[in-house]
């Protein structure tokens, strides 16, 4: 009788452990450490064509797809929508959608309160780029989002939302700093 009870006890517990182990393994194998939205090829191709740049596998696809949707939006002082936006409204809106971060609403406040300084040669995609207007050289009057290869997206007061190059004479002359948003 003692042997019967012992055998029953030994087979019952390992069976339960085996089932629990299989369940935990299944549960853990379905977990992912990062959650990257998948964009279809056509959406990425459209974004690449609109932005006039290659979008690589390592690039932040969400940033490029969202940025491309803003191209051509007219400039409107104080605006934050696709009916019209100003430069800080564009950075505010894209950051909210892509990075789920709420930025300040003026370019100077974004520069001083939302990010840390980054040199031009250390810019990474998603960094902010700040410019002065030539008169007040210590205060940011314009902001954009760095994409790559020296290009950034911004809301121009005369052309609306466009992609420009940092090495254009105006942006070279009025460059202030890059900024990386704090985590």
Measure CA of the first residue to CA of the last residue in the chain; give whole Å: 65
Q: Which of 8, 31, 142, 174 is catalytic?
A: 142
Q: Which of 16, 142, 13, 25 is nearest to 86 (CA)?
A: 142
174 an active-site residue? no
Question: Residue 26 is encoded by which pair of tokens?
Answer: 């299944």
31 an active-site residue? no
Question: Residue 124 is encoded by which pair of tokens?
Answer: 């990474």
Q: How far apart are CA 131 and CA 17, in angstroms?
A: 63
Q: Is the dihedral of CA 122, 94, 174, 140 positive or negative?
A: negative
Q: Which of 8, 132, 154, 174 is catalytic?
A: 154
Helices marked H in 54-131: 61-70, 87-98, 107-109
Q: Which of 46, 79, 85, 83 is nearest to 64 (CA)?
A: 46
Q: Which of 87, 100, 115, 174 is catalytic?
A: 87
Question: Residue 83 is encoded by which pair of tokens?
Answer: 């009916």
8 an active-site residue? no
> Residues with catalytic annotation?
87, 142, 154
């Amino acid at each position: 009788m003692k042997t019967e009870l012992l055998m029953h006890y030994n087979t019952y517990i390992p069976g339960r452990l085996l089932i629990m182990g299989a369940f935990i393994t299944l549960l853990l194998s379905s977990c992912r450490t990062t959650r990257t939205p998948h964009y279809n090829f056509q959406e990425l191709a459209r974004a690449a064509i609109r932005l006039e740049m290659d979008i690589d596998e390592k690039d932040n696809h969400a940033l490029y797809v969202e940025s491309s949707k803003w191209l051509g939006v007219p400039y409107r002082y104080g605006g934050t929508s696709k009916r019209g936006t100003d430069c800080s409204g564009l950075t505010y809106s894209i950051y909210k959608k892509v990075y789920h971060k709420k930025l300040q609403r003026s370019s100077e406040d974004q520069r001083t309160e939302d990010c840390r300084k980054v040199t031009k040669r250390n810019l990474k995609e998603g960094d902010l780029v700040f410019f002065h207007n030539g008169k007040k050289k210590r205060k940011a009057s314009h902001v954009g989002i760095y994409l790559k290869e020296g290009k950034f997206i911004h809301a121009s007061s005369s052309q609306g939302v466009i992609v420009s190059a940092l090495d254009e004479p105006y942006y070279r002359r009025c460059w202030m700093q890059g900024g990386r948003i704090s985590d």
